Amino acid sequence: MLYEQELKTFVEGTTNFFEVAAQQPATLGSPYLLEGTPAVHEYTGVITISGKREGVVYFTAPKAMLTVLLMKMQENDFSHETMRDLVGEVANTISGNARRDFGRDFVISVPSVLSGEKPDVPHKPGQRSFIIPINWRSHSAKLVVSLS
Amino acid sequence: MNARRAFKLMIVDDSNIMRRRIERSQQFEDLQVVGTAGNGVEALALFSQADPDVVTMDLTMPQMDGIECIGRLVALKPAVRILVISALADKATAVEAMERGANGFLNKPFTDRQLNEAIADLMRRA
């Protein structure tokens, strides 16, 4: 079972990126539980967690949202590599927050990035996931927390 | 009339976005970007030729991470001033970086103002 404080750490890592890097805060949609592998958008930044908890946490976003986010960051390169770079940075921020808040109870991987149609997102069979919609401007991404 | 001293900056980060962001956001006329590197190995290769006064250093990078790179750069040039810019927000990481020779620590994500204040602090000490 996930504790509220643990979820809060992952959510704050995500929203903090929008608030600081883009100078425009994101809002949260209604979280929900999902059985099975969650659908992902075009770009996904993944961190793997072991130790006190086991599983994955990932931020997945559509290209349109990342494009606007890059514009807000004064970036003018909107290439595939830059999109991958950006979701990697968001995942990096989530990872850094978790390391700060959870300490050595959690072993947190360096973020990896997935892209393209139907990427192979790591998911343990039978594992339920918390899905937290991250809304920013007119776009919506997802934070997926899948830990046991 | 005294000429103002010009400082040389090297940016080390595996993210293209972050390298460009730092280069674009720094607002000092007397600070010249003399090189950028995507990991510790590239930074070491560039360091002697670029001879920077100030380095911004990411920590989590492939091939050679920032912690190891800091130690190696300081061994080559003890006077270099290093600002760690990392998403790793835990105290233990910051302490380790400082023990290796870093002079400042800025968490990602950061605002332009936070970046410029941190760089200004290093330039004062360089």
Domains and CATH numbers, chain A: 4-34+41-147 (3.40.1550.10)
- The secondary structure of residue A125, as a DSSP letter, is T
Cβ contacts of A83 on chain B, cutoff 8 Å: none
The C-alpha atoms of residue B31 and residue B77 are separated, in whole angstroms, by 19
In a 3-state reduction of DSSP, which class is residue A16? helix
DSSP element (H, E) containing A128: strand A128-136
d(CA A143, CA A82): 20
* Beta-carbon separation of B15 and A89 below 8 A: yes
pLDDT at A99 > cutoff 90: no
Tell whether B18 is covered by a domain: yes
- Assigned domain for B67 exists: yes
Domain encompassing residue B68: 7-125
Let me know if A83 is exposed, middle or buried by CB neighbors in 10 A (0-12, 13-18, 19+): buried
Using a CB–CB cutoff of 8 Å, tell me whether A77 touches chain B: yes
Predicted confidence (pLDDT) per residue in A9-29, tens digit: 999 999 999 999 999 999 999
- Per residue in A124-136, pLDDT tens? 788 899 999 999 9
Among residues of chain B, what percentage have pLDDT more than 70? 97
Cβ distance B109 to A86 less than 8 Å, yes or no, reads: no
Residues from chain B that touch A74, judged by Cβ atoms under 8 A, are 21, 24
Q: Please indicate whether, in this complex, the C-beta atoms of A86 and B17 are within 8 angstroms of each other.
A: yes
Contacts of A110 in chain B (CB under 8 A): 60
Question: Is B59 a domain residue?
Answer: yes
Closest residue of chain B to A83, computed from CA coordinates: B17
Cβ–Cβ gap B90/A110 under 8 Å: no
A48 touches chain B (CB under 8 A): no
Q: What is the pLDDT of residue B4?
A: 62
Residue among A81, A93, A103 minimizing CB distance to B108: A93
d(CA A119, CA A43): 9
B109 to A20: CB separation less than 8 angstroms, yes or no: yes
Which CATH number belongs to the domain containing residue B41 in this structure? 3.40.50.2300
| Neighboring chain A residues of B91 at a CB cutoff of 8 Å | 100
B38 part of a folded domain: yes
How many independent structural domains does chain B possess? 1
- Residue B63 region by backbone torsions, left for phi larger than 0, else alpha for psi between -120 and 50, else beta: left
Q: Is A92 on the interface with B (CB under 8 A)?
A: yes
Considering only residues B1 and B116, tell me which one the structure prediction assigns the higher pLDDT: B116
A24-58: pLDDT as tens digits: 999 999 999 999 888 899 999 999 999 888 899 99
Which one has a higher pLDDT value, A119 or B96? B96
As for the ipTM of the complex, it is 0.86
Strands (E), A26-125: 27-28, 32-35, 43-51, 55-61, 106-108, 112-115
Distance of CA B18 to the CA centre of its chain: 12
